[in-house]
A = this chain, B = another copy of it.
Amino acid sequence: MIAGEGTAAVRTARRVRFDDARIEMSHGAGGKASRRLVEGLIAPAFANPILAALSDAATFSLGDRRVATTADGYVVRPLRFPGGSIGELAVNGTLNDLAVSGARPRALMATFVLEAGLAADMLRAEVAAMAGAAERACVAIVGGDTKVVEHGFCDGMYVTTFGLGEVEGDTTLDPRSVRPGDRVLLSGPIGDHGITILLARGELEIESSLRSDTRPVWPFVEALLRACGDGVRWMRDPTRGGVATALNELVRENELAVVLDEASIPLRSQVRGACELLGLDPLHIANEGQFLALLAPERADAALALVRSMPGGEEAALIGEVRDEPARTVLCVTPYGGTRTIDMLVGDPLPRIC
């Protein structure tokens, strides 16, 4: 056994029962059903002091270093979409899980499940996309594995990536370090990835210039940690389940409240329009290149200025703050002065977006 940090996952896992008879799409959507599956079925079986099933990465000591490890499976459909593809997503997504744990990436591994009949050029393109994304992040893909299944299974390819990173200095990003008065920084417009995937499937007849936001967030994280130190309390990349789910997970851990100012949340008109058409809340839509940072109040303005000064960070905003009640709740103040409760994602309105 290795010296562990963070027992929150195990503590939480004891509370939940999973009584469903069958696996459904919603169990993979990243929202409430996913959490029930993980907390009620998987985490109790694997329970150990460093289990990080409910965190983006597991961190532990190895010799004189603190390392973070993370693993993610990718089953996005279609394989290629405006702004990215499964390979780029698989590299950036895993790098981002390390990044929001305060870890500089050191090595990646990748496994492929390929469908018999897949065009070799399709695989070649995804391997190239992965290599490019890894190179841009200055990290090596050091190994992996390839399996092939019969035609008709796995629609093209599934990719799983594993990342190993080194936690910078004495960084700790713990939900329990968040305090009332802390501010919520969001790095840019939400929902671009999820809505891009939806439109790429042709399920809505909308012409759009929207592109996935897939990108590595480490450059922002590194700059924030250097400038603000432990003024950065906690970070998360709001992927499946969106900003709403990420913040609900936070308040479940620390028993606090987050109050968002809806008018301040960056959102493109195309995403707003598609969400209105479909009855979706943009706060539930997946992002693949944004991050949330919970900041000590005295550091918030400087942090915002810093992120905005970096390429791709121009639309960052402070979108809310932490309060001590109502505990375990995320609220949103609308532009008309009303207040609504923001729950975790329920069901799976946009299956297989990553």
Residues of A with Cβ closer than 8 Å to B? Answer: 1-2, 4, 18, 20-29, 34, 37-38, 41-42, 45-46, 48-53, 55, 57-58, 60, 62-65, 67, 69-75, 106-107, 109-121, 123-124, 127-128, 130-131, 134, 138, 140-150, 152-155, 158, 160, 162, 164, 166, 348, 351-352
Contacts and interface: CB of A to CB of B under 8 A. Distances in A.
Given A1-B138, A21-B120, A22-B116, 10 more contacts: A20-B120, A27-B146, A27-B148, A50-B140, A50-B142, A60-B107, A62-B166, A63-B65, A67-B164, A73-B145
A114 B164 contact: no
A351 B115 CA distance: 13
Contacts of A153: 153-155
A148 B23 contact: yes
A20 B114 CA distance: 14
A130 B58 CA distance: 18
A148 B62 contact: no
Contacts of A64: 63-65
A172 to B, nearest CB: 17
B113 A73 contact: yes
Contacts of A4: 140
Q: How many copies does the complex hold?
A: 2
Q: Is the interface of A mostly helix, strand, loop or mixed?
A: mixed
A257 B127 CA distance: 34
B24 A146 contact: no
B127 A55 contact: no
Nearest to A150: B25
A117 B22 contact: yes
Nearest to A18: B120
Contacts of A154: 113, 149, 153-154, 158
A72 B147 CA distance: 9
A200 to B, nearest CB: 17
A147 to B, nearest CB: 5
Contacts of A143: 51-53, 55, 57-58, 69-71
A118 B24 CA distance: 8
Given A142-B60, A143-B53, A22 B118 contact: yes
